[in-house]
Chain A
């Protein structure tokens, strides 16, 4: 049945459709329109006194018509027609359904026609239509949920037309009926308002499009929502280190906190708690446990008194101890204050010294005394060698090695040695020509016969004095200190050294004569007058150092020679002597000063082996010290040279006029001698050429020279060309070399295989420029070359986390994007322990 019906319906549809379209087209052509009720017309005119714009209305109508997608779709039978009917609130009358579907097609055609017509038709013709088209507009504006349907005339709804002229009941019509009602005017007013503020209602889009738009908007929103993380992510990515181990709550804190939470559970615990929390116990606890025993009130008053007494005694004892410690502290403080070397302190000291010195100058006796004192000190130093090596502190330092010491210690050691040096040094400045004992060392060694006697006298005197001093010391034991064992030991040592000293003196006296004779015959150990021949001979031994202060001017040329000259002739006292020879070229007058730096001179020859090792050990540090000493010596020499004649400056042997005078070779001569037999520049040129050939090779030699025929014919043209090319290429390559412009330099461009594994071929990824990469690799990051404060940050890993701590996902927090990206980044407030 149903099928039949549908068929019928379909037929009817088709039929009516055809018919209708025909009719409507007829209608349009005739330009007859359904008449409006006159009242309605008036109303419209009243509302719109001005002619309505055609286009506007047309568009309105068009949009209104668009509002029927479901109906339209029903034509395609995609929708259940019944449901469509339901939507439209129409009766289940077949005819109505048919009409509706008819209308759709009709309407569309009609509208299209309208559009077309409206373009060229006159306004008057359209007037009627305008009015008619106003109606749907009015109806739609009334309320959104009213679904208006346009019923153009057709044979099926002609009844409507017949009854009312048009198929519409407008609001005005309805209002007209209410004219008598009291609310009428208000209703009308409202209606008018609504009409005035009328807007077009856009048709809803198809569902797919709707969803699309919705999704688009939703995506935008969620994008925006997500974008707020940007700055946080940025910060975390830029951070050098991300921490995930912050703020771990272990659950419980201190022992006190745990104890305070304790509550007695069992019976026993309850009893204990009752005892512990007894008010008396607490009181006692508060009183520092002094009256712990009077819990049971068994203690008598006397006992109490006794206890109090005892406590008072204890207190007084404590006080005494405190006082003592205070005293001690005060003492210590005083000592420390004593040691402080402030400026004022120094100033004061200076003043005092000045006063003393002035006193010395004024009073010859005092000066004498002072000199004696000094001399004593010096003699003692020479004998005890206190500042040489003996001190355990110094020994310890030496054992550990001086290079391991810090700067302060080094300085102290230096000072120590300097002091030693100062104390044992010959006193040149001392004006006391005969009484000055300190000159004995060098005099003994070097002076000629005439001087020798003098020196011996002086030495004898000095010896007497030292012996006296020592005897004085020997006499001292009554005072109590010398009873100590170590004192005795030192005394013995000192005596021994005195003996040794005497021995050495004797030996020296013996050798003095022989030495002198040798001087005459074999020109001695240090013959500088005849050095010209010898220096050339001992060329390999001589280490020549040039100090070209002004390389251009030869005037200020200073050649320093340090040579070790073997001393076979002399006795066991001395095997080798170090010289620092300073040759000076001062203008036209060629004189030279020789300052002999016989470091420790013969006196120390006994301890020579020790000294040597000492020198070796402390090979690093003593250099500056010695320089200082030398300089000071030199200064002293110079001062001497001002006052004395030149003979004094030079050692004894040199001063002797009998020696042939030494002519200092000229600068050029010296250089020639030094570089005799080598043509450096040519060699260098050759070397460079070799390296160039090696690194930028020519074409293979032998090309085109294999056979006689080739040689006869000459090279083929292509080969010549090739050769030419190769030559040009090579020249270009040579020009590009780094050492192309540097005449005296060879920069090898050969890459060594060993160095290759320490280099990267390209600049690695995060770096963009070579320089930045090199900069980053410049400093090592190890603990040996960085202090602990910077070693930590340098080696900190990118992610710091603790094993066993659950890391929760990130939580949002406001971040100032203009903040500097700090080290701290992810703040995980909620970290759990298992």
Chain B
């Protein structure tokens, strides 16, 4: 696919190739947080004068929001950017975004009309940032392509046997599994490959697909409606100054913008706050999924076998569980999901995953095999209770950026695709059939989409399971949850007049370190368990050097001032890519400083979710950066 060529990486990458992977040596400088938004007028004017002298384009200072999470705040002036007009702009090339795009083009083809659709995706190619277990339901895929098998969609391994186990340190006790966890008719896939295939189909149908393109800003009309998005400026150095290769971003305007960024989207979070799409006191809750892909000894491989686990290594207070899926070609996808509402600041989801692998059930399977890929991504756990309003003037939210994952089933892909299809149907009706959204007219308010959602299978599913995840929030921990969930999923099926709420957002659940003891995690053995930097090198992640650090701190002192003493610096433990470290401060002996190795980032969004101070703001780096997941 067309790729904005990374430039500065060329030099460093080619040199890096001559040596061993240098992620181990990479340590990006501490961010100096040159938050231009807070720079004094004088500094701004000096900068402008320097700009003129260098005869570089007068550009605005990039939207570095000093207040956390203001991804859409732009600064005063800049040269107007080029714009491209579309009927529909879709942010995010994942299952939801691509399903919507495909559906729109299919409707247009059927009725012999035209509709211009663009999909932009921050990953280097479609599928590069897609990571999942995954065992998916094929209903929505069949709706889009009834002949998906003949067309070569990479769903080759049907799910054949389901197992559920409760793990203690050395044993695996079989558990009865609730009926929803039955996977007959589903397929074990690499979601990245399925999404790649969807991307090809979208292009064949005439969708403009632009990977390696990051949407960094939402463009609003004067009345607060969404007009489209802007891609980020490329060729900006660490100090936010334009380099010789500076290429300004572009604006993509649409009659409707579909936000399909996945869990905790960087633009969506600002949108929800600015347009107040969630009621006061409502919030989303999350989990972190960490996985590896292994090629195992054929003697141990049972294609189609699915195992879900609870218990070890997590304690009764921590929600989560493991999965092991036997795919085709002797490949096994396995991982651990940890609920991000965990309380113990000493918990490291990455190291819990390593412990999971050392359980005999898992290590026996993996011995003699080799690891192919590693990755991690936050996932949505809030369910129906946490859904924001799905539509607003000029746009809608589809897929996990809204949050349609069915947590007990740990399946969200089919719902994401379905939501994309529903949005596409409504959007097509509004734009083509009813001719809304023309230049100068009212922005489109797609209430039909939310209505369709409420009448859909997605809603039915989420309604039925809405009380299951929250039932784990009581003092009884997972025991309370298992008891209620067993009852609810087998008998009650959600038919109660009450709905359990989530008591607190995940970041507020972390307790001070003084209330807990450090966990003594075993050292990695290098065969089954690995250290974090080795794992990160398996994600293929890379970020062009000399660009602004994309992890922004609203207050650059809070980490050392509060998070370190109170929570013992949890960032060093909750990030599954080793981005955050507290290192000795050379300038202040005896003190620590907070270091951000942003080049290791795998775009999982956990830091933005779990930081107790809510100080870290994940913003999107240059398009094409981030992980290069293969077969995940």
Q: Are A and B physically bound partners?
A: no
Residues of chain A touching chain B, judged by Cβ–Cβ distance below 8 Å, are none
